[in-house]
A and B are shown apart, each in its own frame.
Chain A
Amino acid sequence: MSIQLKQVSKQFGEVVAVNKVDFAIQEGELIALLGPSGGGKTTVLRMIAGLEMPTGGDIFIRGQRVNDLSVQQRNIGFVFQNYALFKNMTVFKNIAFGLKVKKWKKADIELRVGELTELLDLKGLEKRYPHQLSGGQRQRVAIARALAPKPSVLLLDEPFGAVDAKIRQELREWLVRLHDDLNVTTLFVTHDQEEAMEVANRIVIIAKGRLEQIGTPREVYEQPANEFVARFIGVMNILAIEVRNGVGRAGEMEFPLAGVPDGLARVGFRPYAVQVSPLLDQYRYRAVLRRTYFLGVMLRLELELPSGLIVRGRMTKEEYSALGLRDDQQVSIQIRQFRLLAHDQSPLTPEVATTYETPPTIGENI
């Protein structure tokens, strides 16, 4: 166990920023802390680092309770959102700083800095000052500086937030490769679900100070623990329904919900679960294909039912042309798979809530 949080809370005055968060991370994992801004994920990261003091609960790093260890004693590497490079020091001195503090020998420092400049593609920049570097270079210096003293965990706060979109993609791939090479336990904070899905082995979703779900990218996408996660990860159609006698209705749409008490509720389904056919009697509901959005390989369809309900579907270009679809065409649709997200009578646990019209299929997670 590399990092473990037990019932960790943080209050700022009366504001609860982090509320009884529990999770555990194995040695060598690459974890994303994902959530909307202001949801407490950065506070969690800062508490692990020792930059904030939890007001409740315990934090363990490699089995040792670190609540009472100061930030200097925790042996973590921290990469700040805006890098926080030392402006009055060269790249070399920035990277060497943590080693000098730990009283490494001069020759060892030079060796270690050499290793890191090699690894992070910073060779030749050793004598530059931070203001003479590009955004991507600054980021790599920040990571090299954090890695230099061989920390037990690497923590990154919004590591791709401050660079532009094109470099961001490169940096993501590059962080994955770096992690594969070094195998150091890594936690990064992000508010970008796509980034989390692409980079992390597992995702910790935090919102309003609470842990919403922890799981692999596929788990959080296919089995969101609750409505928040379902909404936050990927695109989801969400319909307000009224449940009566085991059936939920929204407009002409019906959702079988055996055993669910009567009342107001919401169901959700992914665009990929919407099946579309140009044959009007192939599927259960009639709809009009209002608009097609081209998103590269995938297309998104906006379908309108006679009652005015809007449903989003998606398919590949190939499927689209095989079906011979075009805008404003009459089609028939069907919802292959959905889940109950919320109910005004009883807060449902995800396992109970999950019901499928057809058995769940795996392998269609985009």
Chain B
Amino acid sequence: MAAQTVKRSALRKSHRGSEESKVTRVVLTVVALLFAGLFLLLPLVNVFYQAFSGGVRWYFESIRDPDTLSAIKLTLTIAAISVPLNLVFGLAASWAIAKFEFRGKSLLLTLIDLPFAVSPVVAGLIFVVLFGRSGYFGEWLDSHDIKIIFAVPGMVLATTFVTFPFVARELIPVMQATGSEQEQAALTLGASGWKTFWHVTLPSVKWGLIYGVILCNARAMGEFGAVSVVSGHITGMTDTLPLRVEKLHNGGSMGAASSAFAVASLLALLALITLGIKTILEWKTARAHEQAQRATVDDTQLPFTSSDAPK
């Protein structure tokens, strides 16, 4: 009872010393919402509006186009390779960084962020420098008839590079926050390293892990610049969904414009699903946190039979 009183009063505390006047609040809110509406909501709504501007039939025809279907397939393939790779890296790196102290740890942390600072076009360029015709391995690859640049392997490499930090970045703080006492407890109970990892570590970081993976996936499927450099833009062969959007957009005709939006709407849908999952995950962790806090209750009720004095 008493604890509840405190909690609710804390929630509804009126901040007479720390609040703007009503007029100021309304004006600031309206300006902020206008900005958000103009820059965030409107572009998103416009994607779907334009996608269906040619009618529902045209929308589905645009998507059923064989070149678009092959772009969907390629996009899924690339994500299916690069996301698991970065997932494994994210797990390894976060385990090492969160559970151990070692020299060079902060350097490793900084290096993980490096791909964030590299322009996607430059990310594509570095793989051209390595594997392109006049690159370091160009001749050797040519003589063995292996194609990396202007082919799928190069696109996978570039995508993996660009999405490299996502899982690790999400996992490291979560793992650091949970500490390593649970793992140590599991070890004292005789569990092996792998068992401890599977049954203790993974469950306690699962929400962070899922969030990292969906974010990584969204970026992998949506990557444009890096993939564009190494793709070669062969229709039906090396076009991913974002590249297909560009090609349709450059097509110029009225129909092509709404086709571009139809394909773009698939990617926008992906973004919405990603954000939806993210919001649900945040909601879940917030609720778990709240429940943990509510567990502490102090009660000052005096029962009618007692023979013990406080303190």
Contacts and interface: CB of A to CB of B under 8 A. Distances in A.
Contact of B298 (A37, A193, A231, A235): A37
A193 B311 CA distance: 10
Interface string A46-78: 000011110000000000000000110000000
B218 to A, nearest CB: 38
Interface residues of B, number: 25
A36 B12 CA distance: 20
A231 B302 contact: yes
Chain A residues touching B, range: 35 or more
A50 B16 contact: yes
Contacts of A15: 4-5, 8-9, 12
A342 B303 CA distance: 11
A296 B8 CA distance: 42
Contact of B302 (A12, A17, A71, A228): A228
Interface string A306-339: 0001101000000000000000000000000000
Main SS class of interface, A: mixed
A310 B307 CA distance: 8
Contact of B304 (A52, A193, A208, A240): A240
B145 interface: no
A45 to B, nearest CB: 13
A246 interface: no
Contacts of B306: 238, 240, 266
Contact of B16 (A70, A208, A309): A70
A38 B309 contact: no
Contacts of A52: 13-14, 16
A312 B309 contact: yes
A12 B12 contact: yes
B304 A51 contact: no
A43 interface: yes
Contacts of B310: 231-232
B101 interface: no
Interface string B1-31: 0111110110111111100000000000000
Nearest to A312: B309
Contacts of B8: 12-13, 15
Main SS class of interface, B: loop
A116 interface: no
Contacts of A193: 311
A32 interface: no
B188 interface: no
Contacts of A118: none
A2 interface: no
Nearest to B15: A51
B300 interface: yes
Contacts of A228: 302
Contacts of B12: 12-13, 15
B308 interface: yes
A204 interface: no
B253 interface: no
A237 B308 CA distance: 6
B305 interface: yes
A232 B302 CA distance: 11
B13 A231 contact: no
Interface string A145-178: 0000000000000000000000000000000000
Interface in A211-263: 227-228, 231-232, 235-240, 250
B3 A344 contact: no
Contacts of A13: 8, 12
A38 B2 contact: yes
Nearest to B4: A15
Contacts of A236: 309
A51 B9 contact: no
Contacts of B305: 240
A31 to B, nearest CB: 22
The CB with the most chain B CB atoms within 10 A, among A38, A39, A52, A71, is that of: A38
B16 A344 contact: no
B49 to A, nearest CB: 42
A264 interface: yes
A108 to B, nearest CB: 26
A232 B309 CA distance: 9
B300 A36 contact: yes
B188 to A, nearest CB: 34
Nearest to B310: A231
Contact of A36 (B2, B11, B15): B2
Contacts of B4: 15
Contact of B6 (A38, A53, A239): A38
A227 B302 CA distance: 9
A222 to B, nearest CB: 16
A337 to B, nearest CB: 16
A52 to B, nearest CB: 6
B309 A12 contact: no
Nearest to B10: A12
A38 B16 contact: no
Given A12-B8, A53-B16, A208 B309 contact: no
B9 A12 contact: yes
Contacts of B6: 37-38
Interface of A: 12-13, 15, 17, 36-39, 43, 50-53, 70-71, 193, 207-208, 227-228, 231-232, 235-240, 250, 264, 266, 268, 309-310, 312, 342, 344
14 contacts: A12-B8, A12-B12, A13-B12, A17-B5, A38-B5, A38-B298, A39-B300, A70-B16, A71-B16, A231-B309, A250-B307, A266-B304, A312-B309, A342-B304
Interface of B: 2-6, 8-9, 11-17, 298, 300, 302, 304-311
Going nearest first, the 9 A-B pairs with the smallest beta carbon separation are A38-B6, A12-B12, A12-B9, A236-B309, A240-B305, A38-B2, A71-B17, A51-B17, A36-B300
Given A43-B9, A51-B17, A237-B309, 18 more contacts: A12-B8, A13-B8, A15-B8, A17-B9, A36-B2, A51-B15, A52-B16, A208-B2, A231-B302, A232-B310, A236-B309, A237-B307, A238-B308, A240-B306, A240-B307, A266-B306, A312-B309, A342-B304
